[in-house]
Amino acid sequence: PLQEEGGSVVLERRTLRTEPPRMYQVVMLNDDYTPMEFVVVVLQEFFYKDREAATQIMLKIHLDGKGVCGVYTRDVAATKVEQVLDAAHKAGHPLQCVSEPVE
Ligand code: TYC
């Protein structure tokens, strides 16, 4: 909305400030069959980790049972999960991956 004030135009914000979007972590789960190398490549390809970071995340999942691959808005997180499940399915690996809201 516009207002005139002493000859100059004042722009007034009437809407409330937009909240930042809810964020979702993509969590990968360990299993006994998916090769370590496959997980490392997935983390590099879809989560843009370098080889060293990808290897650390893979080993964390292997030891703890699960690990966070990245944090994204809802749609991006859902797309990452889809990409991982699709690649795993095509390669014949049981690798599982989920997205969950942060907090
Ligand atoms: N546990 C697997 C193995 O020993 C490796 C692995 C790591 C599988 C991470 C899944 O999300 C995973 N070959």
Pocket residue to mutate for ligand 1, from 55, 58, 96, most atoms within 8 A of Cβ: 58
pTM of the model: 0.86
Is any atom of ligand 1 closer than 6 Å to the C-beta of 60?
no
The three-state secondary structure class of 25 is strand
Q: What tens digit of pLDDT does each residue of 32-87 get? A: 999 999 999 999 999 999 999 999 999 999 999 999 999 999 999 999 999 999 99
Is any atom of ligand 1 closer than 6 Å to the C-beta of 88?
no
Residue reference for tokens 């005139």:
4
Pocket residue to mutate for ligand 1, from 26, 27, 29, 31, most atoms within 8 A of Cβ: 31
Strand positions, DSSP E, 30-101: 66-73, 96-101
Mean of the pLDDT values across residues 11-21? Answer: 84
pLDDT of residue 103: 84
